[in-house]
Amino acid sequence: MDIVTLSPAQQELVWKIWSEDQIPPSISSLIKIAFPDLKNLDPRTKEGVAIKKFLIEKGASPPTSAYTKKASLELSKEQKEYIDNNYITMKSVEMARELFNNKNLSPVSQEARTIFAYVKELKGNFDTDNKSESVIQAAVIDDAIPEKDYSPPTTIDRVCSKINKYVKGEELDFRNLKVTQRRQIQSLLTYLHNHRFVYQINSYGFQTDRDLFESAFVAYTWDKDDLSAEDIDQYIILCNEKIMSSSIQRNINQLEREQKRMIDEEGKMSMTHVEALKSSRSEYSDCIKRQQNLYRALTQERSDRLANKKRETPSLLNLIALWKEEESRLEIIRLADERQEKLGEEIDRLSNMDDLKCKLVGMSKEEMLYG
């Protein structure tokens, strides 16, 4: 990695901001100030390292990038009672939005984390003597909540690792890449830094959803180095549909387990439950159809685009054929010019009628002139 050194103007600007703020700014915000054209604000970049080094040389203590976990909130008795009654059918973030009357809470919010911790405690203390095994399995298992936003890879070797991880049969060695492979991986690196992609993956509050989204996107796009911005958006939508179908499938599995429990324990099931299961299966089928149609459209459009490009771009054989045709045409033109030149000379010679007349009567020009 090339070493970056702050210019005197950048040093003055960074130190001014650092000194004036009562709360020391983050390295990311300082990168944005010192390098306004830089889009990657990761403190681990060479620009972030340069700012940290400068602050340390000035005697400051720059913040580290280590994650500091927020303390849990205190839940009231009424809130705990609500969670006790709903944690089987609702996720932590959904209960947090209801209990704290904030529809904008994310799965990584302090409120959702507090409820998630309480739910884990509930599951650990589940009374297996009074509840059937099927009910225990029916409890919604909250996935691991990411502690920070998604950070796309920044080097070729990390992109190769993701391809090897997500694409079956691919074992790329970043030290021995072919020209085509290197071009494809460079393109994928750019795709993974696309703002829409990063925004979409950070919208998922559970790590398995993020992993599934990333794996689908990498598998679809890693060997396509010709995608436009519109294509990338379409692939992001396709991967989002995969997350939706996965979520619907989990709901169907949960409803089916609950259905089995109701039949085993009560000998019947409610119409509400039947309708919910029917609706979920229909929704899942529609989601799969959307995926198939979108994937078919993407592959067909790309195939047509590549075919048109191939027709527009002359191949080597076509160029050789054209060159030969041009060579033949020039030879024909040369022969025609020679013939034209000889014909002109003959016309000039025949234009001398005295000489022609002498040859017709069998006499030379001198004999006709001098007798």
pLDDT tens-place string over residues 103-159: 777 776 788 888 888 887 876 654 433 433 333 333 344 456 776 788 899 898 899
Do 204 and 302 lie in a common domain? yes
Q: SS3 sequence, 77-143?
A: HHHHHHHHHHCCCCCHHHHHHHHCCCCCCCCCCHHHHHHHHHHHHHHHCCCCCCCCHHHHHHCCCCC
Do 111 and 172 lie in a common domain? no
How many residues does the structure list for the chain?
Answer: 371
Do 247 and 353 lie in a common domain? no
Residue 151 resides in a domain = no
Residue 257 resides in a domain = yes
By residue range, what is the domain housing residue 46?
A: 8-57
Do 84 and 207 lie in a common domain? no
What would the two tokens of residue 257 be?
């387990």
On whether the pTM is more than 0.85, the answer is: no
Q: Which residues of the chain have pLDDT under 70?
A: 1-2, 20-24, 62-72, 88-89, 108, 123-144, 147, 309-326, 328, 344, 346-371
Do 231 and 308 lie in a common domain? yes
Do 82 and 53 lie in a common domain? no
Do 243 and 288 lie in a common domain? yes
Do 82 and 162 lie in a common domain? no
Do 299 and 175 lie in a common domain? yes
Residue 2 resides in a domain = no
Residue 145 resides in a domain = no
Report how many domains make up the chain.
Answer: 4
- What is the per-residue pLDDT for 133? 37
Max Cα–Cα distance, the chain, nearest Å: 150
Residue 1 resides in a domain = no
- What is the per-residue pLDDT for 305? 79
pLDDT in tens, 29-48: 788 888 887 777 777 788 88
Q: How far is CA 271 from CA 141, 253, 313, in A?
A: 25, 18, 63
